[in-house]
Amino acid sequence: MSLDYRKNPEAISRLSPEQYRVTQEADTEAPFDNEYWDNKEPGLYVDVVSGEPLFASVNKYDSGTGWPTFTKPIEPKNVVEVQDSSLGIVRTEVRSAHGDSHLGHVFDDGPIEAGGLRYCMNSAALRFIRRDDLEREGYGAYRGVFENPDGERQP
């Protein structure tokens, strides 16, 4: 996996219709009926379009919303927050920095002990890399996240 993350036209052409609607048209998938909302395997979640690392399972929790939810991004520089008033209320949209994919939204009602944020993401915007496949998939640098009790990436 290259560290040159970008919006990849070839990856976009391979997206399912739902992945395209979510990532390219800022749609939202159905709750409780998506691939990762209840995934408890250890691993890394990356942008389905660019491959940039976004979230780790060590920061995932069950928010009861039916979408994969995290307390923080694994690489804050890969996540961009944008004001969104599309539904007549002000929310904070989360997009990938390099792939410019719509990922979901962040709210300030997450677990207080973990920083108070709730990153509520769409499974359709993510690709999951199992912990045991990190090296093979080119994400070996993230292995330490699963060995550190704080879930922080080790240099």
Distances (CA, A) of 61 to 1, 65, 68: 27, 11, 8
Task: Identify whether 91 is part of a domain.
Answer: yes
pLDDT digits (tens, 9 = 90+) for 105-130: 999 999 999 999 999 999 999 999 99
Q: Calculate mean pLDDT across residues 93-105.
A: 96
Domain span including residue 54: 9-134
The chain-wide mean pLDDT, for the chain, equals: 91
Give the pLDDT confidence score for residue 9 in this predicted structure: 85
Task: Identify whether 76 is part of a domain.
Answer: yes
- 106: which residues sit within 8 A by CB, 6+ positions away? 81, 92, 94, 117, 118, 119, 120
Is the model's pLDDT at 155 over the cut of 60? no
Task: Identify whether 20 is part of a domain.
Answer: yes
> CB burial class (10 A; 0-12, 13-18, 19+) of residue 148?
exposed
**CATH number (domain holding residue 93):** 2.170.150.20
Domain count, the chain: 1
> For residues 62 and 152, which has the higher predicted lDDT (pLDDT)?
62
Task: Identify whether 147 is part of a domain.
Answer: no
Give the pLDDT confidence score for residue 86 in this predicted structure: 74
Per-residue DSSP letter, 60? E
CA-to-CA distance for 73 and 109, rounded, in angstroms? 16
What three-state secondary structure class fits 116?
A: coil
Task: Identify whether 96 is part of a domain.
Answer: yes
Task: Identify whether 87 is part of a domain.
Answer: yes
Task: Identify whether 30 is part of a domain.
Answer: yes
Give the pLDDT confidence score for residue 4 in this predicted structure: 73
Is the model's pLDDT at 78 over the cut of 90? yes
Provide, rounded to the nearest whole percent, the portion of the chain with pLDDT above 70: 92
Active site members: 120
Q: Calculate mean pLDDT across residues 64-90.
A: 90
Report yes or no: 125 and 103 within 8 Å, Cβ to Cβ: yes
Task: Identify whether 151 is part of a domain.
Answer: no
- 84: which residues sit within 8 A by CB, 6+ positions away? 90, 91, 92, 93, 105
Confidence band of 1 (pLDDT split at 50, 70, 90): very low
- Sheet architecture: strand order including 126-130: 53-56, 43-47, 126-130
Q: Calculate mean pLDDT across residues 42-66.
A: 96
Give the pLDDT confidence score for residue 83 in this predicted structure: 87
